[in-house]
Structure 1
Amino acid sequence: MCNSLIPAAYRAAGAEAEASSGRQKRPNYPPAPEPLPVPVMDNHTHFDFPNGDSPVAIGEALDAAQAVGVQGAVQVGTDLESSRFAVQAVDLDTRLLGAVALHPNDAPEYAQRGELEEALAEIERLAAHPRIRAIGETGLDFFRTEGEGLAHQRYSFRRHIEIAKRLNLTLQIHDRDAHDDVVQVLREEGAPERVVFHCFSGDGELARICNTAGWNMSFAGTLTFKNAANLRAALAVADPALVLVETDAPFLTPHPHRGRPNASYMVPYTVRAMAELTGTDLAELCTTIAENTVRAYGSWD
Structure 2
Amino acid sequence: MSKVHETGHDGTKPPAPDRLPLPVVDNHTHLDMARDDGPPPDLRAVIDEAVSVGVNRMVQIGCDLDGARFTAKVVDEHPELLGGVAIHPNEAPRMHERGVLQEAWEEIEQIAAHPRIRVIGETGLDYFRTGPEGVAAQQDSFRWHIDLAKRTGKALQIHDRDSHEDVLRILKEEGAPDKTVLHCFSGDIEMARECIDRGYFLSFAGTVTFKNARPLRNALSIVPLDQILVETDAPYLTPSPHRGATNAPYLVPLTIRTMAGVLNVDVPALCRAVSEASERVYGPW
TM over 0.5: yes
Residue in structure 2 matching 1:47, options 31, 34, 39: 31
Number of residue pairs aligned between Structure 1 and Structure 2: 276
Q: Percent identity?
A: 54
**Aligned residue runs from structure 1 range 11-26, under 5 A:** none
User: Residue 277 of structure 1: CA displacement?
Assistant: 1.3
User: Residue 148 of structure 1: CA displacement?
Assistant: 2.1
Structure 1 range deviating more: 25-34 or 290-299: 25-34
Where does residue 215 of structure 1 map in the other structure?
200
Where does residue 152 of structure 1 map in the other structure?
137
**Aligned residue runs from structure 1 range 266-281, under 5 A:** 266-281=251-266
Aligned partner of 1:166: which letter? R
Residue in structure 2 matching 1:170, options 152, 155, 165: 155
Aligned partner of 2:19: which letter? P
Structure 1 range deviating more: 258-267 or 56-65: 56-65
Partners of 1:193 and 1:210 in 2: CA distance: 13
Residue in structure 2 matching 1:262, options 243, 247, 253: 247
Partners of 2:135 and 2:12 in 1: CA distance: 36
Where does residue 78 of structure 1 map in the other structure?
63
**Aligned residue runs from structure 1 range 229-268, under 5 A:** 229-268=214-253
Partners of 1:171 and 1:66 in 2: CA distance: 25
Contact between 2:158 and 2:182, CA under 8 Å: does it hold in 1? yes
Partners of 1:120 and 1:285 in 2: CA distance: 37
Aligned partner of 2:41: which letter? V
**Aligned residue runs from structure 1 range 61-100, under 5 A:** 61-100=46-85
Where does residue 29 of structure 1 map in the other structure?
13
Residue in structure 2 matching 1:199, options 184, 187, 211: 184
Structure 1 range deviating more: 88-97 or 49-58: 49-58
User: Residue deviations 1:106-158, cap 9 Å, x none?
Assistant: 00011000001111111110000000000000000011111221000000000
Partners of 2:90 and 2:40 in 1: CA distance: 24
Aligned partner of 1:31: which letter? P
Aligned partner of 1:50: which letter? A
Where does residue 95 of structure 2 map in the other structure?
110
Where does residue 106 of structure 2 map in the other structure?
121
Instruction: Tell me the secondary structure at the aligned position of residue 59 of structure 1.
Output: helix
- Please state if 1:136 is matched with 2:115: no
User: Residue 292 of structure 1: CA displacement?
Assistant: 0.4
User: Residue 26 of structure 1: CA displacement?
Assistant: 8.6
Aligned partner of 2:111: which letter? L
User: Residue 167 of structure 1: CA displacement?
Assistant: 0.4
Partners of 1:133 and 1:281 in 2: CA distance: 30
Deviation >4 Å, runs of 4+: none
Aligned partner of 2:150: which letter? K
Contact between 2:75 and 2:83, CA under 8 Å: does it hold in 1? yes
User: Residue 27 of structure 1: CA displacement?
Assistant: 4.2
Instruction: Tell me the secondary structure at the aligned position of residue 170 of structure 2.
Output: helix
Partners of 1:27 and 1:139 in 2: CA distance: 31
Partners of 2:255 and 2:281 in 1: CA distance: 19
Partners of 2:232 and 2:221 in 1: CA distance: 20
User: Residue deviations 1:215-241, cap 9 Å, x none?
Assistant: 000000000111111210111111211
Larger radius of gyration: 1
- Please state if 1:58 is matched with 2:58: no
User: Residue 92 of structure 1: CA displacement?
Assistant: 1.1
Aligned partner of 1:193: which letter? D
Specify which structure has the bigger relative contact order, considering alpha-carbon pairs within 8 angstroms and separated by 6 or more residues: 2
Partners of 2:110 and 2:284 in 1: CA distance: 22
